[in-house]
Amino acid sequence: MEAKNRIIVALDVSTLDEALGLVDLLQPEVGFFKVGLELLTSEGAPKVVQAIKEKGGKIFYDGKFKDIPNTVAGATRAITRLGVQMFNVHCLGGPTMMKKAREVAEDEAVSRGITRPLVLGVTLLTSLDYEDLVEMRLMDELNIADPKELEEVKNGRIKRLVQNLAYL
């Protein structure tokens, strides 16, 4: 793997012009560009993805899909058709939803003769702290006893869950 393919730059801007300025500047040194909700909502996913692809950029679609399996399947079909290299789902959507996303991405890619996008799982948002998770009543579910263990979870368990999702 080329070193630059290990680098993902977040295009956390609200206009396509700003995003493409960053792509022009960084594309020779960066493997992937992460497009998130602000840019996708402001400009529209097909328009954003197409414009970045035309510049030679590879795309990580940060939509954090989380809904009933059939709805996520539809979103997965659409994003796979756009030709992104990776996208994510929220693991709290459950294993059935995650497996469905993986299966649909594979089926859609095969039917179009393209490479299947990598499906990543988001387990916990990095903005959540221990108190947030206690308030959300997730600490018992996650079997986490204290703030220190939460950091270990973020650094260890998450990596394993994401690796496991890649093999679903």
Distance of CA 111 to the CA centre of its chain: 22
- First-to-last alpha carbon distance for the chain, in angstroms, is 23
Tell me whether residue 64 is one of the annotated catalytic residues.
Answer: yes
| Residue among 67, 107, 132, 154 flagged as catalytic | 67
Active site residue 67: yes
Q: Is 34 annotated as a binding residue?
A: yes
Angstrom CA distances, 103 to 59, 74, 116, stand at: 20, 12, 10
CA dihedral (137, 166, 28, 20) positive or negative: negative
Nearest by Cα to 76 from 50, 104, 98, 52: 104
Q: Which residues are annotated as a binding site?
A: 12, 34, 126
Q: Which residues are annotated as a binding site for substrate?
A: 12, 34, 126
* Catalytic (active-site) positions: 62, 64, 67
